[in-house]
């Protein structure tokens, strides 16, 4: 579990949180899902805290990379807190609450490059959070999958949209319809994870990767992330034009900086 230490230099101090912890070191923000007794499941408190965290990080120039992980070594996140979801609630209130809780989309839209350090089970909404990150490093013992159909539900955090973009429609259908869970090595072979490492090495490997990303020029890294995200949404010709625009902007910045020197 994270020790909860917080670098207060980022936009003021971070308060103590109930379901998450935040630690900033060497330009990397470590966000830990911290409900180990509940398999780090996503309850409304966690959603609210993540919404606040992502808002704050998005506005920070001090953080160059973000790592999302789970407390302990068994669960990254087991998905929706079904105990909480089973409590009586008016359908309209539930709709409004969940539509207002779009923290996974905020994670995907962060300007900083993001890494999911998947330390154990990443199921349902937990897997969707990992999919919303730019890169994924997984422990060998991890299991990743969309398991909602077994409960008579469907994913609600982008799983049916992001997974096919990574693995193709046929493989995504297999995972969704059958509730297939991939091990760490399988996640790499399927193109979901970048690296698979022994659990004891997960944090150090994620730290090394995140520090390398955070060390790149911040503005260029943000442009690169935005261009990669847009590659799924625009035509090739439009994407190439936007890429050139970004390059010209950065070249102009370099020239202006050299002139100022």
Q: 182 pairs with which residues across the strands?
A: 144
At what angle are helices 169-178 and 159-167 packed, to 10 degrees?
130
Domain presence at residue 130: yes
Instruction: Please check the confidence at residue 9 and state whether its pLDDT lies above 90.
Output: no
pLDDT in tens, 191-232: 999 999 999 999 999 999 999 999 999 999 999 999 999 998
What would the 3-class secondary structure string for 131-181 be? HHCCEEEEECCCEEECCHHHHCCCCCCCHHHHHHHHHCHHHHHHHHHHCCC
Report the CATH number that the domain containing residue 175 is assigned in CATH: 3.90.226.10
| Residue 117, SS3 per DSSP | strand
Instruction: Please check the confidence at residue 8 and state whether its pLDDT lies above 50.
Output: no
**Is the same domain home to 155 and 200?**
yes
Kindly state the helix (H) or strand (E) to which residue 78 belongs, with its residue range: none
Instruction: Please check the confidence at residue 100 and state whether its pLDDT lies above 70.
Output: no
Domains identified in the chain, total number: 2
Domain presence at residue 121: yes
Strand-pair category, 143-145 with 135-139: unpaired
> Residues 138, 184: contact at Cβ < 8 Å?
yes
Task: Domain of residue 206: give its range.
Answer: 20-214
Instruction: Please check the confidence at residue 132 and state whether its pLDDT lies above 80.
Output: yes
Query: In this prediction, what percent of the chain has a pLDDT beyond 70?
Result: 87
Contacts of 4 (CB under 8 A, 6+ apart): 16, 21, 23
Q: Which of 28, 6, 8, 32 is nearest to 19 (CA)?
A: 32
> What tokens appear for 153 in the block?
């539900």
> What is the rounded CA–CA span in Å between residue 222 and residue 56?
16
Mean of per-residue pLDDT scores for the chain: 91
**Is the same domain home to 247 and 181?**
no
pLDDT interval class at 260 (50, 70, 90): low
Q: Which of 148, 208, 226, 233 is catalytic?
A: 148
Lowest mean pLDDT among 88-92, 148-152, 164-168, 250-254: 88-92
pLDDT at 97: 67
Q: Which of 62, 89, 128, 186 is catalytic?
A: 128
**Is the same domain home to 225 and 207?**
no
Tokens 């035509």: give the residue: 235
| Residue 225, SS3 per DSSP | helix
pLDDT in tens, 12-33: 457 789 999 999 999 999 999 9
**Is the same domain home to 191 and 235?**
no
Query: In this prediction, what percent of the chain has a pLDDT beyond 90?
Result: 81
* Residue 128 designated active-site: yes
Domain presence at residue 14: no
Domain presence at residue 13: no
**Is the same domain home to 170 and 44?**
yes
Domain presence at residue 38: yes
Domain presence at residue 241: yes
> Residues 104, 125: contact at Cβ < 8 Å?
yes
Domain presence at residue 7: no
> What is the rounded CA–CA span in Å between residue 121 and residue 79?
9
Q: Supply φ then ψ for residue 182, to 5 degrees.
A: -95, 140
**Is the same domain home to 210 and 244?**
no
pLDDT in tens, 138-187: 999 999 999 999 999 999 999 999 999 999 999 999 999 999 999 999 99
> What is the rounded CA–CA span in Å between residue 55 and residue 49?
10
**Is the same domain home to 87 and 45?**
yes
**Is the same domain home to 53 and 89?**
yes
Q: For the whole model, what pTM was predicted? A: 0.90
pLDDT at 94: 66
Contacts of 73 (CB under 8 A, 6+ apart): 119, 120, 139, 199
pLDDT at 5: 37
**Is the same domain home to 55 and 132?**
yes
pLDDT at 84: 79
* Residue 233 designated active-site: no
Domain presence at residue 4: no
Instruction: Please check the confidence at residue 52 and state whether its pLDDT lies above 80.
Output: yes
**Is the same domain home to 118 and 229?**
no
């Amino acid at each position: 579990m994270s020790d909860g230490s917080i670098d207060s230099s980022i936009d003021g101090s971070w308060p103590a949180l109930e379901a998450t912890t935040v630690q900033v070191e060497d330009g990397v923000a470590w966000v830990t899902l911290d409900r180990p007794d509940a398999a780090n499941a996503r309850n409304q408190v966690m959603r609210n805290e993540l919404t606040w965290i992502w808002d704050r990080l998005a506005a920070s120039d001090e953080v160059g990379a973000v790592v999302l992980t789970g407390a302990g070594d068994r669960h990254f996140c087991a998905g929706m807190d079904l105990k909480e979801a089973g409590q009586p609630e008016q359908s309209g209130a539930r709709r409004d609450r969940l539509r207002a809780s779009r923290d996974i989309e905020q994670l995907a839209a962060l300007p900083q490059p993001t890494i999911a350090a998947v330390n154990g089970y990443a199921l349902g909404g937990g897997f969707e959070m990992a999919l919303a990150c730019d890169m994924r490093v997984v422990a060998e013992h991890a299991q990743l999958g969309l398991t909602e159909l077994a409960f008579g539900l469907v994913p609600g955090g982008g799983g049916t949209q992001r997974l096919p973009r990574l693995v193709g429609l046929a493989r995504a259908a297999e995972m969704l319809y059958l509730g297939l869970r991939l091990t760490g090595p399988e996640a790499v072979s399927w193109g979901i994870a970048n690296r698979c490492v022994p659990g004891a090495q997960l944090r150090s490997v994620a730290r090394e990767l995140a520090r390398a990303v955070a060390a790149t020029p911040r503005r260029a890294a943000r442009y690169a992330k935005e261009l990669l995200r847009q590659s799924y949404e625009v035509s090739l010709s439009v994407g190439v034009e936007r890429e050139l625009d970004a390059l010209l902007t950065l070249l102009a910045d370099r020239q202006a900086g050299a002139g100022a020197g």
